[in-house]
Amino acid sequence: MKNLLITLVLVIFSAIISAQGSKMKAKEEFKLRPLEIEYYRLSNGLRVVLNPDNSVPVVSVAVYYDVGSRNERKGRTGFAHLFEHMMFQGSENVRKGEHFQYISKAGGTMNGTTSSERTNYFQTLPARWLPLALWLESDRMRSLAVTQENLDNQRETVKEEKRLRYDNQPYGQVFDLLTSMIYKNFANAHSTIGSMEDLDAATIEDVKEFFRIYYAPNNAVLVISGAFDTQEAKRLIEKYFATIPSQPAPPPVDVSEPEEVALREKIYEDKLAPLPAFIDGWKIPPRNTKDFKALSLAGKLLFDGESSRLYQKLVKGDESVVQIFGFVDERRGPSAIVIGAIPKPGKDIKQIRQQIYDQIKQLSTEGPTSEEMRKLRNQLINDEVRLRQSSLSRALRLGEYALYDDDPFLINKALDELLQIKPEQIRDAVAKYLNTENRAQLNVVPANQK
């Protein structure tokens, strides 16, 4: 906040590109201008992040609430997500469903999402409609219509969503199952969509209380990114948000985990799956730690893109799988790394799994090659630059840094921190967290052909 424009200059003397058959030299200086960011708090505790960028006359407004499935207690699962639905059911001055209509008629787009970590709401509009977005977001923050009718109605919609997106999709339940095998702590282990019994048991009082505790200005972050005048934006934010009363802080969350995964093996019969599949998960340290960062880079080397180790080994070399995939489940607390595959019909699953473990083992002893380190560096820079193009993607990242770390300026340091990770760090982190039998193995079997 003191220094709005710390000049971050990344100087990358890129290596010689030695291409087979043709030799080219590129020795370039690469500079990435830091984003202009202002960060402050209203008197009611609402954190505000402003990121003016006039390249295109478009503005994105995002509101992050510090509530996700991690905040849910036993018997109250699915509340955070149910609430995301409730937030489109109208408030004192905006009728049910009108939020979407207002945004659409202004030529904008909008949505909301829920994860284990947070619930967010966002819209992107032509820049002149900034006041409309602030009016809409502030109205539901201060006066959401929490009525029995809306609750019943949205409870049914959520159930239908669960049936459509999870119960009625091939492999639809697999990630939730694996999550429950990796994490032991209830706060981490249960699914975001929640249980239907818990949703049925929700009373209007429960929901009102949930809203009061978690949808308070002191539990939220407001981000504006795009084409706007900072002074005007501040004036509008004060007008629409400053009088919303703050609330006592929500109860603290305990997301601590033992080292061991909760369950090592499970077989799941999937009625809809056309082919058997498997998916494994490992428990890793929280986001924003050195080991987490090193492991997320290891993940890129293992399963990202056609030159990745597992793609080259299994899809190309052995021709044994239809698909290989992996991702990092990034959390503020203990997190996870996940790798799975759909083998071709008739291929030996055990053997494919062993190939994956062998690749992990190799990475854990020999570490990444210098070619791989060069690839990582170039990919990280390219990704970072592309993520800065749209106002929405900037707003979402700024919202996360403000909410999780109370420091949106991290967006200007994140790339540099990743670039400083050494191959030995990647090797050692893989050795410690991935090359181990402390992992969850889920086998998916088509129910009709077990």
**Window 381-440: residues binding another protein (CB under 8 A):** 381-383, 385-386, 388-391
Only segment of 21-29, 69-77, 259-267, 347-355 that touches another protein (CB under 8 A)? 21-29
How many CB atoms sit inside 10 A of residue 196's CB?
15
Which residues 250-279 are close enough to bind another protein by CB under 8 A?
A: 271, 274
Bridge partners for 265 per DSSP? 441
- Please report how close the Cβ of residue 62 comes to another protein at its closest, in angstroms: 15
CB 280 within 8 A of CB 441: yes
> 121: closest CA among 106, 136, 104?
136
Bridge partners for 52 per DSSP? 226
Backbone angles phi, psi at 122, to 5 degrees: -155, 155
* Rounded Cα gap, residues 413 and 416, in angstroms: 5
Only segment of 206-214, 235-243, 251-259, 289-297 that touches another protein (CB under 8 A)? 235-243
CB 48 within 8 A of CB 104: no
- Please report how close the Cβ of residue 433 comes to another protein at its closest, in angstroms: 24
Site string for another protein, 186-225 (x = CB under 8 A): ----------------------------------------
| Residue entry with tokens 């960060």 | 39
Site string for another protein, 160-179 (x = CB under 8 A): x--xx--xx-----------
Nearer to another protein, 41 or 163 (CB): 163
Which residues 77-96 are close enough to bind another protein by CB under 8 A?
A: 92-93
Among 148, 203, 230, 307, binds another protein (CB under 8 A): 307
Instruction: At 324, list the tokens.
Output: 């290989």
- Please report how close the Cβ of residue 21 comes to another protein at its closest, in angstroms: 4
Among 58, 177, 189, 356, binds another protein (CB under 8 A): 58
Among 2, 7, 11, 20, binds another protein (CB under 8 A): 20
Which secondary-structure segment (H or E) carries 238? helix 230-241
Q: Using CB atoms within 10 A of its CB, is residue 316 exposed (0-12), middle (13-18) or buried (19+)?
A: exposed
- Please report how close the Cβ of residue 297 comes to another protein at its closest, in angstroms: 13
Nearer to another protein, 161 or 428 (CB): 161
Only segment of 14-22, 74-82, 255-263, 417-425 that touches another protein (CB under 8 A)? 14-22
Among 41, 74, 212, 239, binds another protein (CB under 8 A): 239
Among 6, 9, 16, 28, binds another protein (CB under 8 A): 28
Which residues 119-148 are close enough to bind another protein by CB under 8 A?
A: 124-132, 134-136, 138-139, 142-143
Nearer to another protein, 131 or 258 (CB): 131
* Rounded Cα gap, residues 438 and 436, in angstroms: 5
CB 372 within 8 A of CB 366: no
Sheet holding 439-446, edge to edge: 265-270, 439-446, 277-284, 335-343, 321-329
Site string for another protein, 274-293 (x = CB under 8 A): x-------------------
Q: Using CB atoms within 10 A of its CB, is residue 346 exposed (0-12), middle (13-18) or buried (19+)?
A: exposed
CA distances from 171 to 244, 372, 443 (A): 43, 32, 11
* Rounded Cα gap, residues 347 and 389, in angstroms: 43
Nearer to another protein, 3 or 22 (CB): 22
| Interacting residues of 163 by C-beta distance below 8 A, sequence separation 6+ | none
Among 212, 264, 316, 422, binds another protein (CB under 8 A): 316
State the first-to-last Cα distance of the chain, in angstroms, to the nearest integer.
60
CB 192 within 8 A of CB 115: yes
Only segment of 99-107, 207-215, 395-403, 434-442 that touches another protein (CB under 8 A)? 99-107
Judged by CB under 8 A, does residue 354 bind another protein?
no
**Residue 169 C-alpha from the chain's centroid:** 22
CB 427 within 8 A of CB 367: yes
Among 204, 227, 253, 431, binds another protein (CB under 8 A): 227
- Please report how close the Cβ of residue 314 comes to another protein at its closest, in angstroms: 12
> 211: closest CA among 337, 65, 112?
65
* Rounded Cα gap, residues 188 and 209, in angstroms: 22
Among 111, 113, 288, 312, binds another protein (CB under 8 A): 312
Nearer to another protein, 322 or 431 (CB): 322
- Please report how close the Cβ of residue 99 comes to another protein at its closest, in angstroms: 11
* Rounded Cα gap, residues 337 and 280, in angstroms: 8
Nearer to another protein, 116 or 308 (CB): 308
Q: How many positions of this chain bind another protein (CB under 8 A)?
A: 84
Among 3, 55, 231, 450, binds another protein (CB under 8 A): 55
